[in-house]
A = this chain, B = another copy of it.
Amino acid sequence: MGPGCAVVLLSGGLDSTTALAIARSERFVCHTVAFDYGQRHDVELAASARVSRHFEAASHRVIRLDLRAFGGSALTADLEVPKNREPTDSIPVTYVPARNTILLSIALGLAEVLGTGHLFIGVNAVDYSGYPDCRRAFVESFERMANLALKAAVEGKVRVTIHAPLIEMTKGQIIRRGMELGVDYSLTHSCYDPDDQGRACGACDSCALRLRGFAEAGLIDPVRYAVRTASGS
């Protein structure tokens, strides 16, 4: 007998896809959820559905949420996505206010309906853009809060556990772990600003982190880039 059901947040990017592969390897029956929160393209949602099918998830849902109603991010408003940004300590404009708090909260409601307290999220606090809601302190605090919020938790029927299996891995380690689990990274999509053919820009923070990860792993990224890159195909 396996550990039961889990809800997996699946953007269709490299990290969440690897988190799904890890959840499957731990024998969870996975229900995947993607969010249509007004991010600027549908390539990401298509990747999410593709990856969910590939891993034979028990269900896949797309939940619509109009975060454009308040904007405040290059991913949800008409701001320019920064390219070829030098790594700094500051949190970039691609930060979406309260994003992981909002997405985990909705996934939490779904988990309760499905009768589970297990959630998987592919956050990572090593090779990341410095978003505060990707750090372990946030994840642990969310888990404590969730155990006070849910009827099923308060009644002792479930215990909320936020699995963040990638949180202390480098991007190269994530890719190597995914490869061991048979992840086909050509199904995934990471770029914040793809062209009209869905090809990655190769220059935004997300592409830069991904390409550095493939370089670190000594592998070639199988996704298509609009430009020639050192570690891309």
CB contacts (< 8 Å) of A109 on chain B: these are: 67, 70, 72, 96-99, 101-102
Known: A67-B109, A97-B109, A102-B106. A137 touches B148 (CB 8 A): yes
Give Cα distance in the complex from A142 to B66, angstroms.
Answer: 22
Binary interface profile of A, 76-105, with partner B (CB < 8 Å = 1, else 0)?
A: 000000000000000100011111111001
In the complex the two chains form, is B148's CB within 8 Å of A145's CB?
Answer: no
Give Cα distance in the complex from A101 to B162, angstroms.
Answer: 15
- Nearest chain B CB to A61 CB, angstrom units: 6
Give Cα distance in the complex from A148 to B141, angstroms.
Answer: 8
In the complex the two chains form, is A63's CB within 8 Å of B72's CB?
Answer: no
Q: Which residue of B lies closest to A112 (CB)?
A: B97
Q: In chain A between 131 and 148, which residues have their CB closer than 8 angstroms to a CB of chain B?
A: 131-133, 135, 137-138, 141-142, 144-146, 148
In the complex the two chains form, is B141's CB within 8 Å of A113's CB?
Answer: no
In the complex the two chains form, is B65's CB within 8 Å of A69's CB?
Answer: no
In the complex the two chains form, is B155's CB within 8 Å of A91's CB?
Answer: yes
In the complex the two chains form, is A105's CB within 8 Å of B112's CB?
Answer: no
CB contacts (< 8 Å) of A106 on chain B: these are: 65, 67, 98, 102
- Nearest chain B CB to A69 CB, angstrom units: 5
- Nearest chain B CB to A106 CB, angstrom units: 6
Known: A70-B113, A113-B72. A102 touches B105 (CB 8 A): yes
CB contacts (< 8 Å) of A98 on chain B: these are: 105-106, 108-109, 112, 146, 149-150
